[in-house]
Amino acid sequence: MTFLKKAIYYYYRNRLKKEVLRNKIPGHIGIILDGNRRYAKKCGFEDTFKGHKKGADKLYKVLSWCIELNIKIVTVWAFSTDNFKRNKSEVEGLFEIIKSQLEFYINSKFINENKIRVSVIGKRELLPESLLNVIDRLEDKTKDYSNLRLYIALGYGGRQEICDAIINFISDNIYIKSKLNPAYENGGDNQPQCPSGFTDGYDYLSNIITVENISKYLYAKSSPDPDLIIRTSGEIRLSGFLLWQSAYSEFYFCDAYWPEFREIDFLRAIRSYQSRQIRSGK
């Protein structure tokens, strides 16, 4: 980038940031990190993992932008359940990159000084044990931080999350579990009774299976729904990201590949969110 282009970029970025800071900032942003492999191909890298490594480094910059705007929650989708369908060597390579990055976060000056609490959501039982060990250490190290909450979705699928939430909801309900247990098929003294106030099991279920109750069993159950979801690389779909939580989110689709995602792209996404909030009267 020439000096003139840099000067124009920084002037525009600063003007855009001032404009964004005058309006409502989203409290929770979700980001689909897409385009690492295509970025590597565009750059002519023989090793596509260079694209993934660039993408891993980009997250640091984006988190710093979020801190400057006082955004409190960021959820990023780094590895989906569908990614397990890629060839074994690629999956193993991706996990090594992720493990290396998370291991670096444990003693990272940026993470610790900015009090960023890191949590991993998804089908953790599908992840390698070596990666799980690093995740446990990182989560334990940052558990008391509260300046920014970072959720990293690994082995994550939105449909699977909803299935898991319902399974865990049923598992915690003794009456429902009893109805599914063959041991209680013929009734008996140990058969749990329908809770008082309900005519039968169907009446009970129709009243307790609610949005509020199922929401308590999502992977990040303590987190509010995202205000804004950003997807990079030009794809115009969510692919199941935060499927339950995104019902009322605003969406922003950016053409830039994730490793090329710039601060002005980020600020434009925020500005787009703000303009929709103004139009809707919120």
83 is catalytic: yes
Specify the amino acid at residue 247.
Answer: A
Q: Which of 36, 83, 173, 186 is catalytic?
A: 83
Treating both helix axes as pointing N-terminal to C-terminal, what angle do 129-142 and 88-106 enclose, rounded to 10 degrees? 20
Annotated active-site residue 136? The verdict is no
14, 23, 34, 213: which is the annotated catalytic residue? Answer: 34
In a 13 Å sphere around the CA of 264, the CA atoms on its Cβ side amount to 12
The catalytic residue positions are 34, 83
